[in-house]
Structure 1
């Protein structure tokens, strides 16, 4: 190699952003060996072609990536390297979330402040209700304004525990009858992801006692490890006002849940149209001329066609309780209420879209 293509270790360090000591370490580890080593002086020389590898190596190490993973990325093609990077980032994010949660637990116990007993609920009942309502939470990273929508609102009153979540396109709310009468009136928005990780323990516990703490809530379980979830400080929407301001129902239909889900899944488009009329509900694609599926239904009121994003309507129907769902419609541009035909303790609102447009 001509000498004018080589540079001493100091110059290469400046070009790549790596220190000379780091370059010696990476040379000895085999990640970035010098292009040439003077056999007499032992001086190390690098080529201009190695600058890109050195720069990438530095950036990967700045991400906290271990040497073995760095070596794999440097030796991989673009697609595989991207996958390895995504895998590393997901691991770092998960570890950071775990640290946050552990820190919240420590903070909740500093000074041993007494917790506020709220209510006791059967574990399997609470877990099922949380899973149903959590489908309506929003998951949008880097958008602080929506942070409150990533949580589940828990409220205790004299008679019930109410769970509510919304992502602006859906709103789900369910009441749960406690095993013991609630001891306090309380409300807080619980971190949705942390609550998801606690569901397995909650489901396996015969009885779960809810206890409010500073900036969090404890789920106390006699036969499982207690779980702590942080509260989100952002304001939760006034969903009761939203429910109270709904217009009058103009069309109502009761249809078998499994048949409706199957019809939704068979439509090829991202949006679906429901046509309610003549004691039937027809499910068709809102994007093309794909033939629809007509389902038997108990339908009353004005005939109506209304369109939804599949990702909005399908979860709202799938979480309904019981074999039949009741659809209360108010017009093609108004929220639809989806409830169980025989049990009304889970209510979901689903926002429609205009024909030919995404939400």
Structure 2
């Protein structure tokens, strides 16, 4: 039998983690002292604890950990669960890279407020009024209002995968929205939004006909 301390040292799980997984019914000790409440683990539980530690380090959710341990002999099931978690991690990394890219752009703009965020290229997109309005609505709440950080008081526009991406942040929150371009043969016939304030942007489309007339964003 292994004490909880020995199990922690040999498995890579902390004592508090072992207690948590006991309460969750995931890794229940073989014996619990009825007087002291001290936990004891059978020799065969070490491999299970080490497997659990690996999944914990990989950030696997508790529900999936439970399924993997319960179905460990079902190789196909375990592979599906592991691959699904890996896909979630990869998507999360992709999303995190996009957010950090937006943050770096905001930092660059703060350091060079008079310089366009895109100096090496020009991009022109035609957008539907409804699409732009919905995207602005989705991000305005997170725009900064601190007078000492005026560079965070607007909306950052960027083009990603052919769509317009809007980003706002007040350092504590971040909001990101995307809106696809419309297919228009004459983008110059649209309207161009030059506002730097989310409040003013809100007034740009208020009362405007949203029947589909395009807006044109340039950058």
Q: Does 1:88 align with 2:88?
A: no
**Per-residue deviation at 1:223?**
4.8
Give TM-score, length-normalised by structure 1.
0.34
Bigger radius of gyration among the two: 1
Give the counterpart of 1:69 among 64, 70, 87: 64
Describe the superposition over 1:25-80 as per-residue Cα deviations: whole angstroms up to 9, x where unpaired. 11111110100112233221101111111011111010111211211221222211
Using CA pairs below 8 Å that are at least 6 residues apart, which structure has the higher relative contact order? 2
The 1:119–1:47 alpha-carbon spacing in structure 2 relative to 1, beyond 3 Å, is closer
Residue 28 of structure 1 corresponds to 23
Residue 104 of structure 2 corresponds to 107
**Per-residue deviation at 1:109?**
2.9
Q: Does 1:9 align with 2:4?
A: yes
Q: Gaps spanning 5+ residues in structure 2: where?
A: 128-159, 165-177, 189-213
Query: 1 or 2, which has the higher helix percentage?
Result: 2
The answer (yes or no) to whether the contact 2:21–2:28 under 8 Å persists in 1 is yes
RMSD: 3.5
The 1:118–1:196 alpha-carbon spacing in structure 2 relative to 1, beyond 3 Å, is closer
**Per-residue deviation at 1:81?**
1.2
**Per-residue deviation at 1:92?**
1.2
- SS of the counterpart of 2:122? strand
Query: 1 or 2, which has the higher strand percentage?
Result: 1
- In the TM superposition, structure 1's runs of 4+ consecutive aligned residues that sit over 4 Å from their partners are 200-203, 222-226
Give TM-score, length-normalised by structure 2.
0.54
Count of paired positions = 141
Map residues 124-203 of structure 1 onto 2, 5 A cutoff: 195=161, 201-203=179-181
Map residues 1-359 of structure 1 onto 2, 5 A cutoff: 6-76=1-71, 77-110=74-107, 111=110, 112=113, 113-114=115-116, 115-116=118-119, 118=122, 120=124, 195=161, 201-204=179-182, 206=184, 207=187, 223=215
Describe the superposition over 1:296-329 as per-residue Cα deviations: whole angstroms up to 9, x where unpaired. xxxxxxxxxxxxxxxxxxxxxxxxxxxxxxxxxx
The 1:71–1:122 alpha-carbon spacing in structure 2 relative to 1, beyond 3 Å, is same
**Per-residue deviation at 1:9?**
1.2
